[in-house]
Amino acid sequence: MKLPPYDNFPTLSGDKITLRQILPTDIQDLIEISFYDAIQATTVEQAAEMQDKINQDYRDGNSIHWGIIENATNRISGTCGYYRGLEKGEGELGCVLLPQFKGLGIMTDAMRLAIDFGLNHIGLKRIWAVTTRKNDKAIQLLERLGFIKIADLPDDEVEYELKTAR
Ligand SMILES: CC(C)(COP(=O)(O)OP(=O)(O)OC[C@H]1O[C@@H](n2cnc3c(N)ncnc32)[C@H](O)[C@@H]1OP(=O)(O)O)[C@@H](O)C(=O)NCCC(=O)NCCS
């Protein structure tokens, strides 16, 4: 197992997108998709405070959070990462796109890079994701990536697990 933090923050490159560290100059663009403990930021100050907490979680070895860059435009389109479970050799994947970047296949590519990193670099034994039963787009994304539903959870949530990670 190779848990965060790393000597250099991992940058993962694909054909259409790149996953990289989030920079202070990204924060303004990410306000509407900045969340911490399920609370959404509404100001740039709140989003920056959340990013500080996320950076601390990374330094503590508990998470890794990437910005997703569209290679063609160099614009930040969303975020994804592992947010829980790393100390047990497991990873809860989470992700969110800015509205104007939905429907383009960006998150499918981003999650593939994150999954490859989780399995082959961190050494995760299990990768899972939680969403709500009615979140069709998230469920379609997870199924496209090879996740299967393994549990119905309270509050209308469902847990999906990557098949190949077992
Ligand atoms: C979940 C979420 C990231 C999915 O976004 P998305 O745009 O549907 O996912 P992708 O970027 O992979 O794009 C897939 C769409 O692009 C299309 N697409 C185009 N080219 C594609 C390609 N090369 N590969 C895959 N899909 C492609 C697909 O057909 C699909 O469109 P459709 O939904 O109209 O069928 C987005 O809805 C979101 O941010 N939701 C809020 C946060 C959330 O729910 N997170 C999930 C937590 S588990």
Pair type for strands 64-70 and 39-40: unpaired
Of ligand 1's listed atoms, the one at least distance from the Cα of 96 is 39
> Which CATH number belongs to the domain containing residue 125 in this structure?
3.40.630.30
Q: Is residue 73, in this structure, part of any structural domain at all?
A: yes
End-to-end, the C-alpha distance of the chain in Å comes to 16
Q: Is residue 117, in this structure, part of any structural domain at all?
A: yes
Pair type for strands 147-153 and 17-20: unpaired
Q: How many domains does the chain have?
A: 1
66, 104, 112, 134, best to mutate for ligand 1 pocket (most atoms within 8 Å of CB)? 104
Q: Is residue 5, in this structure, part of any structural domain at all?
A: no
Q: 100, 122, 123, 114: which is closest to 142 by C-alpha?
A: 114
pLDDT digits (tens, 9 = 90+) for 77-99: 999 999 999 999 999 999 999 99
Q: Is residue 99, in this structure, part of any structural domain at all?
A: yes
Say yes or no: CB of residue 33 within 6 Å of ligand 1: no
Q: Is residue 6, in this structure, part of any structural domain at all?
A: no
CA of 60 to the centre of ligand 1 (A): 31
- The half-sphere exposure of 165 on its side-chain side, counting CA atoms within 13 A, is 28
Q: Is residue 83, in this structure, part of any structural domain at all?
A: yes
Domain that holds residue 16: 12-162
pLDDT digits (tens, 9 = 90+) for 119-158: 999 999 999 999 999 999 999 999 999 999 999 999 999 9
CA distance 163 to 142: 11
Q: Is residue 127, in this structure, part of any structural domain at all?
A: yes
